[in-house]
Amino acid sequence: MTVATLIDVLQPAIANRTAIAGLVVLGWEDARAYVEAADETGLPLILQAGPGCRNYTPVAVLGKMFRVLAEQARVPVVCHIDHAYTHEECAIGIDNGFSSVMIDGSKLPLDENIEITARVVEMAHRAGVSVEGEIGVVGYVSGGGSTMTSPDEAGRFDRESGVDALAISVGNVHLSTEKTAGIDFDAVRRIEAVTRSPLVLHGGSGIPPAIRRQLARETRVKKFNIGTELRMVFGDALRQSLADQPDCFDRLQLLGRTITPLRVEARNIMKALAEG
């Protein structure tokens, strides 16, 4: 069995000056492709089920699917709930086999964010499950602005919440289809100076690979959440599959052609982060 927690994969990344990919799952094809890529590279992986995925597929189904894939893998695989907003969502994830949860209280006042995160940490740690929290708000390309992470607030949150990983906002944005150079390295360094947890950047698709590697080598950013660039690979592969097979109505055959391109892209992402 290779089911792992964030502690299992992020602490070695600190020592190795590398980072781990948190790959966003939407269904069977991408989850399978990502685990195959992890096995091919020999690198650990974080499989992530976000709100959209959980709204489409029941958590009970996702938990079993993630565990089956993780238990068959030769490398550590973290089964992670991404962007849960309530204590109950985290509890449901833990009850259904997830080995890690993210409680996102970033839009709450600081005291409330610390309070709900600490309660989730207490529950999760009793079950041997790791917890990611967030301080500062990571916005979206299409709307919903960001709030940069305050180092003072990050330091207090890290000390008082007990999280195992800390997501921060330093110029990163969700759902970016284009690469930007907007990461504030000085802000990252101010935050890492007053915290002890591995740091996480959501919106990793918008960060150029070279900057992701530099962050992994030079800072305590050890987890990059990456979804959009892989969704784009899936979309292109599916369109090509439909164009190549205009008379095919077998969804298994149509969707099956997305697995190899996803595996190749996931492998490239993971290897680049491991170059250190």
The catalytic site residues sit at 82
How far, in whole angstroms, is CA 1 from its chain's centroid?
21
Which two tokens mark 60?
Answer: 């009970």
- The packing angle between helices 28-41 and 59-72, to 10°, is 20
Q: Count CB atoms within 10 A of the CB of residue 213.
A: 18
- 122 burial class (0-12, 13-18, 19+ CB within 10 angstroms)? exposed
d(CA 129, CA 123): 9
- 49 burial class (0-12, 13-18, 19+ CB within 10 angstroms)? buried
Sign of CA dihedral 56, 206, 43, 200: negative
d(CA 87, CA 119): 8
Place of tokens 């740690």: 125
Our separate counts of H helices and E strands in the chain read 12, 9
Instruction: Render 129-173 in DSSP notation, one character per residue.
Output: -EEEEEESB--BTTB---BPPPHHHHHHHHHHH--SEEEE-SS--
